Structure 1
Amino acid sequence: MRQVAWWGSSGRDCLVYVLVPVGMVFAFILFWRLSYLPYRDWSLRPEEGR
């Protein structure tokens, strides 16, 4: 039986270990901002001002 290091057997594994949490954080921020979008208080554009 082949022994492998505890941190992964290749550089590709290391990349996956780094990119998966980064993608989860990105998805969390995206959904957080989209969910609070209706509650935003947008200021009027200059051409829309009355």
Structure 2
Amino acid sequence: ELGREVADGQEARRILRIGEFYSSADETLAKNGFAPNRKPKAVAEPLRAVA
């Protein structure tokens, strides 16, 4: 109907990376083509004191 073949089970596992596990969130993001998590910034003190 759309002009493409239907993936079999092995192809679907490869395409969708079913069954792959990673050791950290950063590794998971990198392997799946996403940007890494931002590093936490130091908490700044308030600009002025609240009365």
Q: Normalising by the residue count of structure 2, what TM-score does the alignment of the two structures yield?
A: 0.32
Which has the larger helix fraction?
1
TM-score, normalised by the number of residues in structure 1? 0.33
